[in-house]
Structure 1
Amino acid sequence: MNVKGMPRTDHWSHQVLAVCLVTLMGCTGTHEDNVQATSAMSGSAIADTVCSLCHGLTGESVSAVIPKLAGQQKAYLTSQLTDFKLHARSDAIDSRYMGGLTHLSETQVAELADYFSRQKAMKAETETPDARGELIFSQGLPETGITACSACHGKDGAGKGNIPRVAGQHADYMYRQILLLQQSAPRPHGAPIKTDDHALFWADAESVARYMATLGSRP
């Protein structure tokens, strides 16, 4: 495992617990219940009645630990929804509350990806950009072999195809994803990534996550 330094131990774990409890009430139930309730629904109807409980109707989630989906790349959403459907993401938090996607059809996955990708792009945070994070995002850390984030995600963080949009994404969520991407098991099919590209010390991971959150259009 390539995690460098110790991750933060503040209120994040308590947020996750609260989020999981809320999500479990809205997104789970028996497999039979889920299939019966959504088998005939269109992707947009599922987004309205199920996904919106956590991600918001337009994909602008309120919780800092639940990803925004608004304006996310369609190909990336399709691949991630498929991974959830096939249980290919082994991270405990992901698998705990996204198991309800198992029964989705390929058509519903495509419609969900299309729905959220067509929403107005996720709004940027209004905080002052993190200078250290900006350096890492735009230039990388050549001395330690860290490639600039912009090399894949684009200078504006919009992503392309199977490379996700990171502009405006919640900083807390992105921080955790950077640490997960330093491993191979939890996100094996998430994107054409290199583990070494994300091998940041936790402080640098936090800095670049906070910088990416300030990219994009303001509220």
Structure 2
Amino acid sequence: MKKVAQLISLGMLLVGSACHDIERSRSVDNPAVAGKTIALQVCSNCHGVNGVSVSPTFPKLAGQQREYLMNQLADFKTHSRVDPNAKRFMWGFTHLSDGQIEEIATYFASQHAILGEPGDPMLIDEGQKIYTSGLSDKGVVACVSCHGQRGEGAGPFPRLAGQHADYIEKQLLIFQHSDDRPRGAPMKAVCTNMSEHDMRAVAAFVEAFPQASGIATTEPTDQ
């Protein structure tokens, strides 16, 4: 009986210790908490555990460029990015350390990106032409020049392939009509003469990046 009582006491001690660790890990303002823990316990509430968000309000982060994610987290931390949803959902992350930012970005960049479902074929076809060739009559340069043949992005230029079309369209409008994105000057120049239909078309294309385009693949990128 004494041995049983000791085992029960040890079990209770371990359970109590585990709960304590869980609570401590949720103290995300503690610089000792790993960035991956924050990604799994906090960021996942909106962006999904694997970075594949369900709601287009929140961008997919899976397979996103690590440098791009670090830049955006830094802008949220300093309140440099002032678009409405940045203020609403991300301005509270002023406590993140540089190490935590790097770890969060590394975690989501390493996750498998997933493409969206194809939409209107005619709209996607229009979007492909804009993505690959731009709109010369409007002075709109091709998206492929910065975001890559497969929409994978590079460094500070984000991955677009698989991103929610609604989110892409909303960001293009923000770039066009405001200076709420501190690193958005190049995109503002690109978007200046785009119509909302142009934006909707390119957003539909990059969300699905159909195999038929000949420039995309459904295989995830490894960061």
1:88-107 superposed matches below 5 A: 88-107=80-99
Question: Equivalent residue for 1:118?
Answer: 110
Paired residues, number: 184
Using the aligned pairs only, state the percent identity.
43
* Cα shift at 1:136: 0.6
* Cα shift at 1:112: 0.3
* Cα shift at 1:150: 0.7
Instruction: Choose 1 or 2 for highest CA Rg.
Output: 2
* Cα shift at 1:55: 0.2
Instruction: Indicate the RMSD between aligned Cα atoms, in angstroms.
Output: 2.0
Q: 2:46 aligns with which of 39, 45, 54?
A: 54
Alpha-carbon distance in structure 2 between the residues aligned to 1:127 and 1:180: 23
Stretch moving more, 93-102 or 83-92: 93-102
Q: 2:157 aligns with which of 163, 180, 185?
A: 163
CA displacement, residues 85-131 of structure 1 (integer Å, 9 cap, x when unaligned): 11011112211111221110110000000000011123332335511
Question: Equivalent residue for 2:119?
Answer: 127
Given the two structures, how large is their TM-score scaled by the length of structure 1?
0.79
Question: Equivalent residue for 1:217?
Answer: 218
Question: Equivalent residue for 2:56?
Answer: 64
Stretch moving more, 161-170 or 197-206: 197-206
Which stretches of structure 1, 4 residues or longer, exceed 6 Å deviation after superposition? Answer: none
Alpha-carbon distance in structure 1 between the residues aligned to 2:149 and 2:59: 21
* Cα shift at 1:181: 1.3
Alpha-carbon distance in structure 1 between the residues aligned to 2:178 and 2:59: 20
**Which segments of 5 or more consecutive residues in structure 1 lack a partner in the other structure?**
1-34
Which of 1 and 2 has higher RCO (CA within 8 Å, sep 6+)?
Answer: 1
Q: 2:27 aligns with which of 25, 31, 37?
A: 37
Matched residue type, 1:217: T
Alpha-carbon distance in structure 2 between the residues aligned to 1:158 and 1:135: 17
Given the two structures, how large is their TM-score scaled by the length of structure 2?
0.77
SS in 1 for 2:80: coil
**Which segments of 5 or more consecutive residues in structure 2 lack a partner in the other structure?**
1-24, 210-216
Q: 1:142 aligns with which of 122, 136, 139?
A: 136
Question: Equivalent residue for 2:214?
Answer: none
Matched residue type, 1:135: K
Question: Equivalent residue for 1:12?
Answer: none
